[in-house]
Amino acid sequence: MDKQVANAATALKGLLFDGMTIMSGGFGLCGIPEHLIVAIRDSGVKDITVISNNCGVDDFGLGLMLQTKQIKKMISSYVGENAEFERQFLSGELELEFNPQGTLAERIRAGGAGIPAFFVKTGYGTLIAEGKETREFDGEMYVMETALKADLAIVKAWKADRWGNLIYRKTARNFNPMMASAGKVCIAEVEEILEVGQLDADQIHTPGIFVDKVIVGTRYEKRIERLTETAR
């Protein structure tokens, strides 16, 4: 039951293969599994489909795997902070599947809940709906969206216990809980591991049943994606 492993490379051993699909938690640079991303980059695995809200920035987060051209396709809702992403997409080197942000979140949640598809108003009558089934409910038109699942989910939490129960910190929770449930394997990167029973059971966001391995990260950068200062 003790799910702690020594480091990111050890946690990923035997799980990576070319052409796989990886879910990566985070929103911008908040709540991203920094050490696991670096370890995946260093592994050399290629042709990856990555499901993530965005793709980091040029020199940090998932942007590191763009630099090495390991990502074949992104399934995202926002990609505006990464010049290399723009270059690769416009040159045809990178595939992109755009989703409205709420739709992306629900597709991931549905994947974890065993729901194959659902209907949503968002995107009806736009490019988002092209090629998708539409249906009318109570006089309103809806678009059918399919669930998202992954071979591997990598998430970042604040605290864990040795059984893999996770607590996220404030807005760093973002996409992490739903991704933890939607991967065939889930590895959690945390700032602190406690003994079983030390976490308040009522405060646990992701039960350990969804988590296969836990690592403790060190020296987190926790960058700010874009700093805006207002003159007084």
Average pLDDT, the chain: 95
pTM for the structure as a whole: 0.94
- Between 59 and 133, name the one with better pLDDT: 133
Average pLDDT (190-207) is 97
What's the domain range around 188? 8-116+148-216
Whether residue 161 contacts residue 199, with contact meaning beta carbons closer than 8 Å, is answered with yes
CATH of the domain at 20: 3.40.1080.10
Whether residue 147 contacts residue 127, with contact meaning beta carbons closer than 8 Å, is answered with no
| pLDDT score, position 195 | 96
- Using CB atoms within 10 Å of the CB of residue 33, give its burial: 0 to 12 exposed, 13 to 18 middle, 19+ buried: buried
Q: Is residue 133 part of a domain?
A: no
80 — pLDDT class (breaks 50, 70, 90)? confident
Q: Is residue 176 part of a domain?
A: yes
Q: What is the pLDDT of residues 85-129, one digit of tens each?
A: 999 999 999 999 999 999 999 999 999 999 999 999 999 999 999
Q: Is residue 222 part of a domain?
A: no
Instruction: Dump the DSSP string for 165-204.
Output: -EE--GGGGTTHHHHHHHEEEEEEEESEEE-TT-S-GGG-
d(CA 88, CA 188): 29
Average pLDDT (15-32) is 96
**Range with lowest mean pLDDT among 13-27, 77-91, 92-106, 138-152:** 77-91
SS3 of residue 65 by DSSP: helix
d(CA 184, CA 32): 19
d(CA 148, CA 211): 18
Q: Is residue 230 part of a domain?
A: no
Q: Is residue 180 part of a domain?
A: yes
Question: Which residue, 200, 185, 172, is CA-closest to 23?
Answer: 185
Whether residue 102 contacts residue 79, with contact meaning beta carbons closer than 8 Å, is answered with no
| Residue 231 clears pLDDT 90, i.e. is over it | no
Q: Is residue 122 part of a domain?
A: no
Q: Is residue 3 part of a domain?
A: no
Number of H helices, E strands in the chain: 6, 13
d(CA 33, CA 187): 9
Percentage of residues in the chain having pLDDT higher than 90: 90
Q: How many domains does the chain have?
A: 1
| Residue 230 clears pLDDT 80, i.e. is over it | no
Q: Is residue 135 part of a domain?
A: no
